[in-house]
Amino acid sequence: MPRILFIAPLLLFAIVAAYLAIGLTKNARILPSALLDQPVPSFDLPPLKNDKPGLATADLQGDVMLVNVFASWCVPCRAEHPLLMQMTHDKTVPIIGLNWKDKKADARAWLAELGDPYTRIGHDPSGRAGIEWGVYGVPETYVIDRGGRIRYKHVGPMFREVLTETVLPLIKELRK
């Protein structure tokens, strides 16, 4: 029996172990966006509040902005909210809200309590617009470029680290 046959199992295992090691650095639960670098999907949502406009595809052209998917029943949304408020206060980037599978009254009360960082809010009670975006939970945040293309998707609450390391540099890049 040639020597190589005896070494083969070890070599195969080495390859498997390498992949398992890489696998440890990934997060199995995060689904990357299928729409990266594609134009924002086609949708049209009514406004959530009377004094703030709703959201449609056309509104996402012309400027770099963030789209934040949120709901009043979502606990992590509450956790990320102060960060969004701060960003709006610092005029970092316009933040658009997509209120997902929520009741109008609940969402309005939630924003009244925590503050409203959004320039526009679209109300999507059925979740259909969300499906167009590939939303599968809340919160999610998308970075949209001037041409209305989705350039980045962050799943889960926004963290300061993600903001400073990934999102803000990207926004800066897109604004050039």
Partner 1 sequence: MIVRLAALLILFVLIRTGESHAVQPDERLADPMLEARARDISKGVRCLVCQNQSIDDSNADLAKDLRILLRERLTAGDSDQKIRDFLVARYGDFVLLKPPMKASTYALWFGPLVILVLAIIGLIVFFRRRAALDTTSSGAASLNTEERARLATLLDGKAGDDKGNPA
Partner 2 sequence: MIAEIGHFSLILALAIALVQAVLPMAGAARGNAAWMATAAPAALMQLACIATAFGCLMYSFVISDFTVANVVQNSNSLQPMIYKVSATWGNHEGSMVLWVLILAVFGAMVAAFGRNLPPSLKARVLSVQSMVGVGFLLFILLTSNPFERVFPAPLDGRDLNPLLQDPGLAFHPPMLYIGYVGFSMAFSFAIAALIEGKVDAAWARWVRPWTLVAWSFLTAGIGLGAWWAYYELGWGGWWYWDPVENASFMPWLVGTALLHSSIIVEKRDALKTWTVLLAILTFSLSLIGTFLVRSGVLTSVHAFATDPERGVFILLLLVIAIGGSLALYAWRAPRLKGGGLFAPISREGALVLNNLLLTTAAATVFIGTLYPLFLEAIGGGKVSVGPPFFNATFVPLMIPLILALGVGPMLGWKRGDLIGAVARLKFAFAFTLSVAVVAAYISWGRSIFGVLGLTLAGWLAGCVLVEFGARIGLTRVGGGDVLRRMAGLPRAAMGMTIAHLGFAITVAGASGASLWQDEVIQFLRPGETLSIVEYDFTLRSVDTVQGPNYTAQRGIFTVRHDGAVVTTLAPERRRYVVTGTETTEAALYTQWYADLYAVIGKGDDKGAWTVHLFFKPLVPWIWGGTLLMVFGGFVSLSDRRLRIGAPTARRTAAHADPAAQPAE
Nearer to partner 1, 72 or 88 (CB): 72
Question: Scanning residues 106 to 135, which ones bind partner 1 (CB under 8 A)?
Answer: 126-128, 131-134
Q: Are 148 and 61 in contact (CB under 8 A)?
A: yes
Nearer to partner 1, 31 or 146 (CB): 31
- Pairwise CA distance, residues 106 & 167, whole Å: 29
Nearer to partner 1, 35 or 85 (CB): 35
Residues contacting residue 6 through CB under 8 Å, at least 6 positions apart? none
- Token pair of 87, please? 């960003």
**∠ CA(125), CA(129), CA(135), 5° rounding?**
100
Centroid of chain to Cα 33: 9
Binding site for partner 2 (CB under 8 A): 1, 3, 6-7, 9-10, 13-14, 16-17, 19-24, 26, 28-29, 31-32
Nearer to partner 1, 142 or 174 (CB): 142
Q: Which does 74 bind (CB under 5 to 8 A by kind): partner 1, partner 2, none?
A: partner 1
Q: How far is the CB of 83 from partner 2 (least distance, A)?
A: 25
Q: Which does 22 bind (CB under 5 to 8 A by kind): partner 2, partner 1, none?
A: partner 2
Give the total of residues touching partner 1 (CB under 8 A): 25
Q: How far is the CB of 168 from partner 2 (least distance, A)?
A: 24
Pairing between β-strand 150-155 and β-strand 140-144 as defined by DSSP bridges: antiparallel
Centroid of chain to Cα 9: 43
